[in-house]
Amino acid sequence: MIVYGSNLSPFVRKVLVYAAEKGLTLELVAAGLGRGGPDFKETSPFGKMPGFRDPGADGGKDFCISDSTAIIAYLEAKYPQNPLIPIDPIGRARTVWFEEFADTILFAMGSKIFFNRFVAPKVLKAGGDEGIAAAAVAHELPPILDYLEGVVPPSGFLVADRLTVADIAVASPFVNLGHVDVVVDPARWPKAGAYLVGIHARPSFAPLIAAEQRMVAQFG
Ligand SMILES: N[C@@H](CCC(=O)N[C@@H](CS)C(=O)NCC(=O)O)C(=O)O
Protein backbone atom coordinates (compact mmCIF):
# COMPACT_ATOMS: atom_id res chain seq x y z
CA MET A 1 0.00 0.00 0.00
CA ILE A 2 1.23 3.47 -0.88
CA VAL A 3 0.90 6.81 0.89
CA TYR A 4 1.69 9.91 -1.17
CA GLY A 5 2.98 13.01 0.57
CA SER A 6 5.67 14.21 2.96
CA ASN A 7 5.86 13.08 6.56
CA LEU A 8 6.44 16.73 7.48
CA SER A 9 2.68 17.02 6.97
CA PRO A 10 0.85 16.25 10.23
CA PHE A 11 -1.81 14.41 8.22
CA VAL A 12 0.71 12.16 6.46
CA ARG A 13 2.52 11.57 9.76
CA LYS A 14 -0.81 10.62 11.37
CA VAL A 15 -1.33 7.87 8.78
CA LEU A 16 2.28 6.61 9.02
CA VAL A 17 2.17 6.44 12.82
CA TYR A 18 -1.22 4.74 12.72
CA ALA A 19 0.19 2.11 10.31
CA ALA A 20 3.25 1.56 12.51
CA GLU A 21 1.02 1.02 15.56
CA LYS A 22 -1.08 -1.48 13.59
CA GLY A 23 1.97 -3.31 12.22
CA LEU A 24 1.04 -2.38 8.64
CA THR A 25 3.64 -1.62 5.99
CA LEU A 26 3.05 1.51 3.91
CA GLU A 27 5.38 2.82 1.22
CA LEU A 28 5.77 6.62 1.36
CA VAL A 29 6.06 8.22 -2.09
CA ALA A 30 7.06 11.90 -2.15
CA ALA A 31 4.17 14.06 -3.30
CA GLY A 32 2.53 17.43 -2.75
CA LEU A 33 3.67 21.00 -3.42
CA GLY A 34 4.13 20.15 -7.12
CA ARG A 35 5.50 16.63 -6.70
CA GLY A 36 3.85 13.27 -7.31
CA GLY A 37 2.50 13.57 -10.85
CA PRO A 38 -0.58 11.74 -12.18
CA ASP A 39 -0.24 8.80 -9.79
CA PHE A 40 -0.68 11.16 -6.83
CA LYS A 41 -3.43 13.14 -8.58
CA GLU A 42 -5.36 9.89 -9.09
CA THR A 43 -5.43 9.41 -5.32
CA SER A 44 -6.00 13.04 -4.33
CA PRO A 45 -8.04 15.06 -6.82
CA PHE A 46 -7.28 18.39 -5.13
CA GLY A 47 -3.59 17.69 -4.57
CA LYS A 48 -3.82 17.48 -0.79
CA MET A 49 -1.56 15.06 1.03
CA PRO A 50 -1.88 12.31 2.01
CA GLY A 51 -3.15 10.37 -0.98
CA PHE A 52 -3.41 6.61 -0.64
CA ARG A 53 -3.41 3.60 -2.99
CA ASP A 54 -4.15 -0.05 -2.22
CA PRO A 55 -3.14 -1.92 -5.39
CA GLY A 56 -5.80 -4.28 -6.73
CA ALA A 57 -8.03 -3.90 -3.67
CA ASP A 58 -11.13 -2.69 -5.53
CA GLY A 59 -12.17 -5.79 -7.48
CA GLY A 60 -8.72 -5.97 -9.08
CA LYS A 61 -8.43 -2.21 -9.61
CA ASP A 62 -6.43 0.00 -7.30
CA PHE A 63 -8.41 1.54 -4.45
CA CYS A 64 -7.46 5.22 -4.20
CA ILE A 65 -8.56 7.74 -1.59
CA SER A 66 -7.31 10.93 0.03
CA ASP A 67 -7.76 12.48 3.48
CA SER A 68 -6.01 11.05 6.53
CA THR A 69 -9.31 10.33 8.31
CA ALA A 70 -10.70 8.44 5.31
CA ILE A 71 -7.47 6.48 4.88
CA ILE A 72 -7.42 5.46 8.54
CA ALA A 73 -11.13 4.55 8.42
CA TYR A 74 -10.37 2.27 5.48
CA LEU A 75 -7.37 0.64 7.13
CA GLU A 76 -9.19 0.20 10.45
CA ALA A 77 -12.08 -1.58 8.69
CA LYS A 78 -9.74 -3.72 6.61
CA TYR A 79 -7.40 -4.57 9.50
CA PRO A 80 -9.60 -4.71 12.63
CA GLN A 81 -6.98 -6.39 14.82
CA ASN A 82 -5.44 -4.18 17.52
CA PRO A 83 -8.24 -1.60 17.15
CA LEU A 84 -7.21 2.05 17.42
CA ILE A 85 -10.75 3.41 17.05
CA PRO A 86 -12.95 2.21 19.94
CA ILE A 87 -16.22 0.54 19.00
CA ASP A 88 -18.25 1.61 22.05
CA PRO A 89 -20.36 4.73 21.33
CA ILE A 90 -18.71 7.07 23.82
CA GLY A 91 -15.16 5.96 23.06
CA ARG A 92 -15.75 6.25 19.34
CA ALA A 93 -17.35 9.71 19.61
CA ARG A 94 -14.52 10.98 21.81
CA THR A 95 -11.92 9.64 19.40
CA VAL A 96 -13.65 11.34 16.46
CA TRP A 97 -13.81 14.60 18.45
CA PHE A 98 -10.10 14.59 19.30
CA GLU A 99 -9.18 13.77 15.70
CA GLU A 100 -11.38 16.61 14.49
CA PHE A 101 -9.91 18.97 17.12
CA ALA A 102 -6.43 18.05 15.85
CA ASP A 103 -7.28 18.33 12.16
CA THR A 104 -9.01 21.71 12.42
CA ILE A 105 -8.22 23.73 15.55
CA LEU A 106 -4.71 22.42 16.20
CA PHE A 107 -3.74 22.36 12.53
CA ALA A 108 -5.01 25.90 11.88
CA MET A 109 -2.86 27.19 14.73
CA GLY A 110 0.18 25.01 14.01
CA SER A 111 0.29 25.67 10.29
CA LYS A 112 0.53 29.44 10.88
CA ILE A 113 3.69 28.78 12.87
CA PHE A 114 5.25 25.98 10.79
CA PHE A 115 4.43 27.56 7.44
CA ASN A 116 5.80 30.97 8.31
CA ARG A 117 8.88 29.75 10.19
CA PHE A 118 9.84 26.78 7.99
CA VAL A 119 7.87 26.04 4.80
CA ALA A 120 7.75 29.60 3.40
CA PRO A 121 11.27 30.78 4.25
CA LYS A 122 13.21 27.52 3.93
CA VAL A 123 11.36 25.30 1.45
CA LEU A 124 9.60 27.83 -0.80
CA LYS A 125 12.30 30.49 -0.27
CA ALA A 126 9.45 32.98 -0.23
CA GLY A 127 9.92 34.53 3.19
CA GLY A 128 7.57 33.88 6.08
CA ASP A 129 5.40 36.27 8.03
CA GLU A 130 6.90 36.15 11.51
CA GLY A 131 4.09 38.36 12.82
CA ILE A 132 1.51 35.69 12.01
CA ALA A 133 3.66 32.95 13.58
CA ALA A 134 4.38 34.94 16.74
CA ALA A 135 0.70 35.86 17.19
CA ALA A 136 -0.29 32.19 16.91
CA VAL A 137 2.32 31.20 19.52
CA ALA A 138 1.19 33.98 21.86
CA HIS A 139 -2.59 33.86 21.46
CA GLU A 140 -3.75 30.60 19.80
CA LEU A 141 -1.44 27.98 21.31
CA PRO A 142 -2.07 28.74 25.04
CA PRO A 143 -5.85 28.07 25.03
CA ILE A 144 -5.24 24.82 23.15
CA LEU A 145 -2.69 23.73 25.76
CA ASP A 146 -5.02 24.87 28.57
CA TYR A 147 -7.67 22.60 27.07
CA LEU A 148 -5.28 19.63 26.77
CA GLU A 149 -4.03 20.21 30.30
CA GLY A 150 -7.60 19.74 31.51
CA VAL A 151 -8.44 16.61 29.50
CA VAL A 152 -5.31 14.43 29.67
CA PRO A 153 -6.10 11.58 32.09
CA PRO A 154 -3.52 10.02 34.45
CA SER A 155 -3.28 7.01 32.09
CA GLY A 156 -1.54 9.24 29.52
CA PHE A 157 -4.08 8.43 26.81
CA LEU A 158 -6.97 10.67 25.79
CA VAL A 159 -9.59 7.94 25.29
CA ALA A 160 -10.22 4.54 26.89
CA ASP A 161 -6.93 4.59 28.85
CA ARG A 162 -5.09 3.09 25.89
CA LEU A 163 -3.61 4.39 22.65
CA THR A 164 -6.19 5.40 20.06
CA VAL A 165 -6.27 7.51 16.91
CA ALA A 166 -7.09 10.43 19.24
CA ASP A 167 -3.55 10.39 20.64
CA ILE A 168 -1.92 9.94 17.24
CA ALA A 169 -3.92 12.81 15.72
CA VAL A 170 -3.38 15.23 18.62
CA ALA A 171 0.34 14.51 19.03
CA SER A 172 1.14 14.77 15.32
CA PRO A 173 0.89 18.58 14.79
CA PHE A 174 3.05 19.16 17.88
CA VAL A 175 5.93 17.47 16.04
CA ASN A 176 5.86 20.36 13.56
CA LEU A 177 5.99 22.87 16.41
CA GLY A 178 9.04 21.08 17.79
CA HIS A 179 10.77 21.45 14.41
CA VAL A 180 10.55 25.23 14.77
CA ASP A 181 11.58 25.15 18.44
CA VAL A 182 8.16 25.83 19.93
CA VAL A 183 8.19 23.88 23.18
CA VAL A 184 5.41 23.24 25.68
CA ASP A 185 6.39 25.00 28.92
CA PRO A 186 6.38 22.16 31.51
CA ALA A 187 5.87 24.62 34.36
CA ARG A 188 2.66 26.01 32.85
CA TRP A 189 1.30 22.84 31.21
CA PRO A 190 2.86 19.87 33.10
CA LYS A 191 0.21 17.29 32.16
CA ALA A 192 -0.05 18.27 28.50
CA GLY A 193 3.75 18.48 28.19
CA ALA A 194 4.33 15.05 29.76
CA TYR A 195 1.53 13.58 27.66
CA LEU A 196 3.09 14.78 24.41
CA VAL A 197 6.58 13.63 25.43
CA GLY A 198 5.13 10.17 26.17
CA ILE A 199 3.28 9.83 22.86
CA HIS A 200 6.22 11.16 20.83
CA ALA A 201 8.53 8.63 22.54
CA ARG A 202 6.56 5.66 21.22
CA PRO A 203 8.37 3.44 18.68
CA SER A 204 5.79 4.52 16.10
CA PHE A 205 6.60 8.23 16.45
CA ALA A 206 10.22 8.45 17.62
CA PRO A 207 12.07 7.21 14.49
CA LEU A 208 9.86 9.36 12.24
CA ILE A 209 10.58 12.43 14.36
CA ALA A 210 14.33 11.73 14.29
CA ALA A 211 14.29 11.34 10.48
CA GLU A 212 12.31 14.58 10.14
CA GLN A 213 14.75 16.42 12.39
CA ARG A 214 17.58 15.39 10.07
CA MET A 215 15.53 16.53 7.07
CA VAL A 216 14.67 19.88 8.68
CA ALA A 217 18.32 20.44 9.67
CA GLN A 218 19.37 20.10 6.02
CA PHE A 219 17.38 23.25 5.23
CA GLY A 220 19.55 25.20 7.68
N1 LIG B 1 -8.22 16.91 5.82
C2 LIG B 1 -7.04 16.55 5.07
C3 LIG B 1 -6.07 17.73 5.06
C4 LIG B 1 -4.94 17.54 4.07
C5 LIG B 1 -4.08 18.79 3.93
O6 LIG B 1 -4.54 19.93 4.12
N7 LIG B 1 -2.80 18.57 3.58
C8 LIG B 1 -1.90 19.69 3.38
C9 LIG B 1 -0.52 19.38 3.97
S10 LIG B 1 -0.48 19.48 5.71
C11 LIG B 1 -1.63 19.88 1.90
O12 LIG B 1 -1.62 18.93 1.15
N13 LIG B 1 -1.37 21.13 1.50
C14 LIG B 1 -0.92 21.42 0.16
C15 LIG B 1 -1.99 22.07 -0.66
O16 LIG B 1 -3.04 22.42 -0.14
O17 LIG B 1 -1.71 22.22 -1.86
C18 LIG B 1 -6.44 15.28 5.69
O19 LIG B 1 -6.78 14.93 6.83
O20 LIG B 1 -5.68 14.59 5.01
Q: 74-91 pLDDT, tens per residue?
A: 999 999 999 999 999 999
Report which residue type is found at 19.
Answer: A
Confidence of residue 10 (pLDDT cuts 50, 70, 90): very high
CB atoms under 10 Å from CB of 126, counted, come to 9
Of 78, 108, 130, which residue constitutes the final position of a domain?
A: 78
Are 202 and 22 a contacting pair, CB within 8 Å? no
Range of the domain at 112: 89-218
Is 118 in contact with 179 (CB distance < 8 Å)? yes
pLDDT (mean) for 132-143? 98
Q: State the total domains in the chain.
A: 2
Mean of the per-residue pLDDT values of the chain: 97
The answer to whether 48 touches 67, Cβ cutoff 8 Å, is yes
Helix (H/G/I), strand (E/B), else coil: 192: helix
Would you say the CB of residue 7 lies under 6 angstroms from ligand 1?
no
Q: Is the shortest distance between the CB of 41 and ligand 1 below 6 Å? A: no
Mean pLDDT of 90-118: 98
Q: Within 13 Å of residue 58, how many CA atoms lie on the same side as its CB?
A: 9
pLDDT-derived band at 136, boundaries 50, 70, 90: very high
CA distances from 215 to 23, 139, 208, 211, 218 (A): 25, 29, 11, 6, 5
Residues 181 and 211 placed together within one structural domain of the fold: yes
User: 123 and 93 in one domain?
Assistant: yes
Residue 139 CA to residue 155 CA, distance in Å, equals: 29
Mean pLDDT in residue range 191-198: 98
- Any alpha helices (H) in the chain, and if so which ranges? 10-22, 37-43, 68-78, 89-101, 107-114, 130-135, 141-151, 165-179, 190-200, 206-218
Q: Which of 8, 11, 44, 99 to mutate to test the pocket of ligand 1 (most atoms within 8 A of CB)?
A: 11
Tens-place pLDDT, residues 169-187: 999 999 999 999 999 999 9
Per-residue pLDDT, 220: 84
Say if ligand 1 is within 6 A of residue 11 CB. Answer: yes
Question: Is the pLDDT assigned to residue 123 strictly greater than 90?
Answer: yes
Whether 99 lines ligand 1, by a CB cut-off of 6 Å, is: no
Co-location of 96 and 72 in the same domain: no
Is 141 inside any structural domain?
yes
pLDDT given for residue 45 in this prediction: 96
pLDDT of 33: 87
Q: State the pLDDT at residue 163.
A: 98
Residues 110, 209 within the same domain: yes
